[in-house]
Amino acid sequence: MPKPVTIQPVRGTLGILIPGMGAVATTFIAGVLAVRKGLARPIGSLTQMGTIRLGKRTEKRVPMIKDFVPLAGLEQLEFAGWDIFPDSAYEAAVKARVLERGLLDALKDELEAVRPMKAVFERRYVKRLDGPHRKQGKSWMDLADQLREDIRTFRQTRKLDRLVMVWCGSTEIYIEPGPVHQDLKSFEKGLVENDSAISPSMIYAYAALQEGVPYANGAPNLTVDIPALQELAKKKKVPIAGKDLKTGQTLMKTILAPGLKARMLGLRGWFSSNILGNRDGEVLDDPDSFKSKEVSKLGVLDYILQPDLYPDLYKDFYHKVRIHYYPPRGDDKEGWDNIDIFGWLGYPMQIKVDFLCRDSILAAPLVLDIALFLDLAARAGMSGIQEWLSFYFKSPMVAPGLYPEHDLFIQLKKLKNTLRHLKGEELITHLGLEYYDE
Ligand SMILES: NC(=O)c1ccc[n+]([C@@H]2O[C@H](COP(=O)([O-])OP(=O)(O)OC[C@H]3O[C@@H](n4cnc5c(N)ncnc54)[C@H](O)[C@@H]3O)[C@@H](O)[C@H]2O)c1
C-alpha cells in the first residue's frame, strides 16, 4: 500500500473570505445556511454528495468523500467578504433574485450579519460598474495592507482556526501577462508604484497569500495566474487554484466534446450563444471584460479535441462564443449551442443544445467544494497551483509548459486519485484485467 500523506486534523472554524458579494457569493452563503438548518440539500456539491470507490470493485468500499478525507463540516464555516455596495448578504441576495424570498427570509438574521467590508476597486478594471463602498489608499500597496488588516481582524475577532479566500467578484478587463507579473520583486515594486497592469483582484490575492490564506479565482481575471503570485504562494506554502468557475455552457461543452472525440466523430463548427440578465451579464456586456471571458471559454475545445493529433476530424473547426445581456432573464441564463459534426464517410449531422440553467445555482456548490478542498490541500501541506481542482474551472491553471486538462471526466479521475493518494489508497487505473485471470 502507498503511504498516506500527513493531513492536519480539522479543528475549530474555517473562515471563508469572499471578494464580491453578488449573486454567486450570496447564493453560496444562503445555501450553506439553508443546508445547515435542514431546509435544503447540497445538490451539485461533490464534497457533500459524492462518493469515492476504494480498492477493487469486489471490495465494495465506497465511502462518501466527506467521510474519506477530513473536510471542514458545514457547521464549521464562517463567512466574510468585500463589496463596493454596502448591502448585507440578505439585501444582496434579495437583489440578485436567485433564491426565493421565503427561503431568504428564513435565513434573514444570519444573512444580515454578513456585511461586506469596503472594497479595493477601480472602475477602469470593471467599466460597467461603480459603487461607493471603497477603500481609499495612497498606493496599491497601501490598499493591500488594509486588506491584510481586514483578514487579520476577521481571524482574531471570530477566533478562526483557518481561512480561505474565493474571488466571486465581477470579471475584470482582459490583461496580458507583462513584466510586472513575472516575479515577486517586480510585482511588489508595481504595488508601490500603482502599476496599471496590476488589477484589484491581484491585490486581494497578494493580501491573502501574504497572510497565508489559500486563494481561488472564480472569475476569468488573470489574478493568480502569474509567476509573481505563484512565487509568493510557494514561498508562503499556500495552495492556489483557478480560474473561472465551470458552470453552464462550458460545463456542457466539456461533457459533450470528450464524447464526440471518444467516438472519433468530426467537428466542423460549434456556435455558442448565451442570454443573461444579471449584473454579471451587464459587466460582460463591456468588450474588455467579455474578452477575459471569451479567452477563458474558447480554449476548451482545442485542448479537448487536439486538432494537431486528429487533423482529419478537428482541423480548422469554427468556434464562436457570444454573450448577450438581456435583463428580463436575470440570473436564469439560456445557453444555445449549435454543433455541426460529421460521421462515417464525412456525412454531416447536427446537435442542438438549449440549456435553460441558473447561473448561480450551478456556481454556488463549486464555491463550497473549492473552499473545502483548498483548506484540505493547505492542511496536507500542498502549495502553489492545485491542478487536481481543474474539475471546477473553465480555464484551469497549470505549471509552465503543461497544457490544461479540460475533459471533465479526466478531471474528476484526477481529483479522486489525488484524494486516494492523500489517504494512501491505491490509485484506480480501470485496467481490471485481474478479474479475468485464470
Ligand atoms: N454564475 C456562474 O455561473 C459563474 C460562472 C463562472 C464565473 N462566474 C464569475 O463569478 C463572478 C461573480 O458572478 P456573479 O453572478 O455573482 O456576479 P455579480 O455581479 O452578481 O457579483 C459580483 C460582485 O462583485 C462585486 N465587485 C466587483 N468588483 C469588486 C471588487 N474589486 N471588490 C469587491 N467586490 C467587487 C460587485 O459589486 C458585485 O456585487 C463573475 O466574475 C462571474 O463572471 C460566474
Establish whether residue 119 lines the binding site of ligand 1, counting it when its CB lies within 6 angstroms of any ligand atom. Answer: yes
| 121 Cα nearest atom in ligand 1 | 31
What's the pLDDT score for residue 232? 97
Establish whether residue 258 lines the binding site of ligand 1, counting it when its CB lies within 6 angstroms of any ligand atom. Answer: no
What's the pLDDT score for residue 76? 97
Cα–ligand 1 centroid distance for 64 (angstroms): 31
| Domains detected in the chain | 14-245+361-422 (3.40.50.720), 248-356 (3.30.360.10)
Cβ neighbours, 10 Å, residue 239? 24
Establish whether residue 150 lines the binding site of ligand 1, counting it when its CB lies within 6 angstroms of any ligand atom. Answer: no
Candidates 398, 379, 397; CA nearest to 76 is 379
- How is residue 191 written as a grid cell? 504595488
| 362 Cα nearest atom in ligand 1 | 3
Cα–ligand 1 centroid distance for 331 (angstroms): 12
HSE toward the beta carbon, residue 105, CA cutoff 13 A: 3
**Residue 199 DSSP class:** -
Cα distances (angstroms) measured from residue 41 to each of 32, 35, 114: 9, 6, 22
What's the pLDDT score for residue 46? 98
Establish whether residue 29 lines the binding site of ligand 1, counting it when its CB lies within 6 angstroms of any ligand atom. Answer: no
What's the pLDDT score for residue 408? 92
Cα–ligand 1 centroid distance for 120 (angstroms): 14
Cα–ligand 1 centroid distance for 21 (angstroms): 7
Cβ neighbours, 10 Å, residue 356? 11
What's the pLDDT score for residue 438? 67
d(CA 179, CA 187) in angstroms, rounded, equals: 9
pLDDT along the chain (438 residues), means of 10: 90 97 97 97 98 93 97 98 97 96 97 97 88 94 98 97 97 91 96 95 98 97 95 97 93 94 97 87 81 77 93 94 89 92 98 94 98 98 97 94 91 96 93 80
What's the pLDDT score for residue 139? 95
User: Contact 335/248 with Cβ under 8 angstroms?
Assistant: yes
Q: Tell if the pTM clears 0.85, that is, is over it.
A: yes
Cα–ligand 1 centroid distance for 33 (angstroms): 20
Cα–ligand 1 centroid distance for 283 (angstroms): 9
Residue 68 one-letter amino acid: F
